[in-house]
């Protein structure tokens, strides 16, 4: 039972530093890998603020052998003079008090990423040791701190002509679960920073492995967009990126836009060098301005008027499909949601950004009629695809399998089996009608079903969703298997409750075309029916390459090496070799014996050993980008077994 004597004695008051140490996740997000690196970012923000004010052009970061961090800049150096009101030096004030700093005084910093006066004091509070060296007023000053408190007084070490701040800190390992700094995480962060601040020189040293790197960007956002987008240039809607730079009402806006013929939308945003991964009012304004300007031009153009598309039916996502945009804004009073600053919440910013974007995009479209036509055509294509996808989903998301009869019922080409027991039933997805007909004759009708597929099915890795879900062969696979896609908590998942077969066998010709068709079907299963692979229901049949006849005896051969051994064995004897280029070259009896009879056939079971590697391989081999596929083929050509 709780104590009823609840009085003022029970109320605890924590000083700012104590509060940070008691509740670190409130200030840095977590005490794992992200929070660990966030400490460095807080110090980096202070150096960047000096750069933004024009006082710094170099930043040095050292990952030391004991996993301590040193960061140094050539800015003005943190002030060290005595603060009469607080009765401490300015340096001690910013290192020990939340809400202390020069960021509140706009004569010191017009633009700043550190806004709450938390950064330095937060790093200090969570460090068991922090050494700060200041180069200022022609002197070198040094002071040592621990767990948010000063251990020594500020000392003068000597004279210098340089200016700046150098901080080395050691985290308090009683607070953090994760204690080792990741070079790649830091490098990628600094790479981003260099793109956003062209001309800034950043030097990264990792003394653990004795490596150093200069990180520098000459062209800023142009370099950034090329860094994140390495796809084939032939897939661009317009050849040159749209670049906007504008100063409006003390707000600096810079962005770059690229359009591709694909369905991805990528928007990366920053405010005063802080990555706003959750967007905010600036992104709302950007989207509204973009939508407004493109819609205006769509309905001013007679060509698009004649399409009889209601203005309200064109959505912002139609306009942004295939868009890659990097937007960075700089302003004096940003308001973020929380200390980790992932979302901008300035209310007045939406309208300002909308106006700038709308005006600038309108001007661009007026001045570039050829590009305007290409972009408007792309938007109409996106709209039509989305509209077609809605109709396709009416089919795919239908939970009642029986209602498929309204759309076409069981596929006409499916020859089903008589058993109604998924554990005992299997279905062959067969390449072509001819082989499908042979398979129907040779199968065991009790438990084997046959679904012929017309040639090469759609490459789902390259196609948009609406085209995929409207494809007849893909519809037939859904219908035949008795599965469907459904939305659960905004995620699309495969429902297999009414799956009719727990052995799904891909059966294609043994030649190169057959292997390509098999790869296309596997790509479809991986992207849309991965659960069936994970459950172990997907197999690939292995038809024989040869039939070697000696006298009346027939031998089926699956490998070239096996064939060579057989020829060597009957070297001086009269043998007949038949090469099976396609399934249709076998009669029903031969197909049953070699490829369909469970007692004699050979099947490859498909499973996923490493999901990330599998995803990458499918993307390389079946995706739109030609360059990585070419590189993969050159690298692995020596392992290929090709029958020409």
Classify 562 as helix, strand or coil: helix
- The string of DSSP letters for 127-157 reads EEEEEEEEEETTEEEEEEEETTEESS--EEE
Q: From CA 232, how far away is CA 482, in angstroms rounded?
A: 38
Domain ranges for the chain, please list them: 16-215, 221-389, 398-544+583-608, 546-557+560-579
> Whole-structure pTM over 0.85, yes or no?
no
User: Which residue is catalytic, options 431, 461, 473, 585?
Assistant: 431
**pLDDT tens digits, one per residue of 359-373:** 999 999 999 999 999
Name which CATH class applies to 16-215: alpha beta
Q: Choose among 108, 84, 88: nearest CA to 97.
A: 88
User: Which residue is catalytic, options 53, 511, 562, 624?
Assistant: 511
Q: From CA 463, how far away is CA 389, in angstroms rounded?
A: 12
User: Which residue is catalytic, options 45, 241, 509, 585?
Assistant: 509
Q: From CA 509, how far away is CA 581, in angstroms rounded?
A: 7
Judge residue 406's burial from the number of C-beta atoms within 10 Å of its C-beta, 0-12 exposed, 13-18 middle, 19 or more buried. exposed
Residue ranges of the chain whose pLDDT lies below 70: 1-15, 99-118, 302-312, 338-340, 388-412, 464-466, 469, 490, 624-626, 628, 632, 634-644
User: Which residue is catalytic, options 18, 229, 433, 513?
Assistant: 513
**pLDDT tens digits, one per residue of 227-253:** 999 877 778 999 999 999 999 988 999
- The string of DSSP letters for 226-273 reads HHH--S-GGGBSSSSPEEEEEEETTEEEEEEEEEBSSS--EEEEEETT
Q: What is the CATH number of domain 398-544+583-608?
A: 3.40.50.670
**Residue 621: what pLDDT?**
77
511: annotated active-site residue: yes
**Residue 401: what pLDDT?**
42
Quick one: DSSP state of residue 593?
I
As a three-state string, the secondary structure of 486-520 is EEECCEEEEECCCCCCCEEEEECCCCHHHHHHHHH
278: annotated active-site residue: no
CATH architecture, domain 221-389:
2-Layer Sandwich (3.30)
Judge residue 582's burial from the number of C-beta atoms within 10 Å of its C-beta, 0-12 exposed, 13-18 middle, 19 or more buried. middle
Q: Choose among 40, 100, 112: nearest CA to 75.
A: 112
73: annotated active-site residue: no
**Residue 245: what pLDDT?**
95
Q: Which residue has the tokens 């039916």?
A: 313
């Amino acid at each position: 039972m709780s104590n009823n004597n609840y009085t003022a004695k029970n109320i605890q008051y924590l000083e700012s530093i104590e509060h940070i140490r008691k509740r670190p996740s409130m200030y840095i997000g977590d005490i794992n890998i992200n929070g660990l690196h966030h400490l460095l970012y807080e110090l980096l923000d202070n150096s960047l603020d000096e750069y933004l004010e024009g006082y710094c052009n170099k930043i040095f970061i050292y990952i030391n052998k004991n996993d301590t961090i040193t960061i140094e800049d050539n800015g003005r150096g943190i002030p060290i003079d005595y603060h009469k009101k607080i009765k401490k030096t300015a340096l001690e004030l910013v290192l020990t008090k939340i809400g202390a700093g020069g960021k509140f005084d706009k004569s010191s910093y017009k633009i700043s990423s550190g806004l709450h006066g938390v950064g330095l004091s937060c790093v200090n509070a969570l460090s068991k040791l922090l050494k700060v060296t200041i180069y200022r007023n022609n002197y070198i000053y040094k002071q040592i701190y621990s767990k948010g408190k000063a251990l020594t007084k500020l000392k003068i070490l000597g004279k210098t002509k340089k200016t700046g701040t150098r901080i080395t800190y050691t985290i308090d390992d009683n607070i953090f679960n994760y204690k080792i700094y990741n070079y790649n995480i830091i490098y990628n962060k600094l790479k981003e920073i260099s793109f956003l601040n062209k001309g800034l020189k950043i030097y990264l040293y990792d003394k653990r492995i004795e490596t150093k790197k200069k990180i520098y960007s000459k062209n800023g956002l142009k370099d950034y967009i090329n860094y994140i987008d390495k796809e084939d240039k032939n897939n661009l809607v317009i050849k040159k990126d749209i670049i906007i730079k504008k100063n409006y009402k003390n707000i600096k806006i810079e962005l770059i836009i690229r359009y591709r013929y694909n369905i991805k939308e990528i928007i990366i945003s920053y405010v005063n060098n802080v990555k706003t991964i959750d967007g905010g009012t600036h992104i709302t304004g950007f989207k509204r301005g973009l939508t407004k300007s493109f819609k205006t031009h769509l309905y001013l153009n007679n060509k698009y008027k004649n399409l009889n598309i209601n203005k309200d039916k064109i959505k912002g996502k139609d306009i942004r499909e295939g868009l890659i945009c990097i937007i960075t804004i700089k302003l004096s009073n940003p308001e973020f949601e929380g200390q980790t600053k992932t979302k901008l919440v300035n209310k007045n910013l939406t309208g300002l950004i909308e106006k700038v974007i709308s005006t600038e995009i309108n001007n661009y479209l007026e001045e570039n009629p050829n590009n305007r036509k290409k972009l408007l055509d792309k938007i109409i294509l996106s709209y039509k695809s989305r509209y077609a996808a809605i109709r396709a989903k009416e089919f795919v998301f239908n939970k009642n399998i029986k209602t498929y009869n309204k759309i076409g019922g069981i596929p006409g080409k499916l020859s089903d089996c008589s058993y109604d027991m998924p554990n005992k039933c299997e279905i062959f997805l067969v390449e072509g009608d001819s082989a499908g007909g042979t398979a129907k004759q040779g199968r065991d009708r009790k438990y084997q079903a046959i679904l012929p597929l017309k040639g090469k099915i759609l490459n789902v890795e390259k196609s948009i969703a609406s085209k995929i879900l409207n494809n007849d062969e893909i519809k037939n696979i859904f219908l035949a298997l008795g599965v469907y896609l459904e939305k659960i908590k905004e995620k699309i998942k495969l429902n297999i409750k009414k799956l009719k077969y727990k052995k799904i066998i891909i059966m294609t010709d043994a030649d190169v075309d057959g292997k390509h068709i098999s790869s296309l079907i596997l790509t479809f299963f991986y992207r849309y029916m991965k659960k069936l692979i994970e459950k172990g229901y997907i197999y690939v049949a292995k038809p024989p390459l040869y039939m070697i006849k000696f006298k009346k005896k027939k031998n089926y051969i699956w490998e070239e090496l096996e064939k060579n051994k057989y020829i060597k064995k009957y070297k001086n004897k009269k043998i007949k070799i038949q090469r099976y280029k396609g399934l249709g070259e076998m009669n029903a009896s031969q197909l049953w014996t070699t490829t369909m009879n469970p007692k004699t056939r050979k099947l490859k079971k498909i499973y996923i050993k490493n999901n990330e590697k599998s995803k990458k391989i499918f993307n390389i081999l079946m995706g739109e980008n030609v360059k990585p596929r070419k590189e993969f083929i050159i690298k692995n050509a020596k392992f290929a077994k090709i029958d020409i």
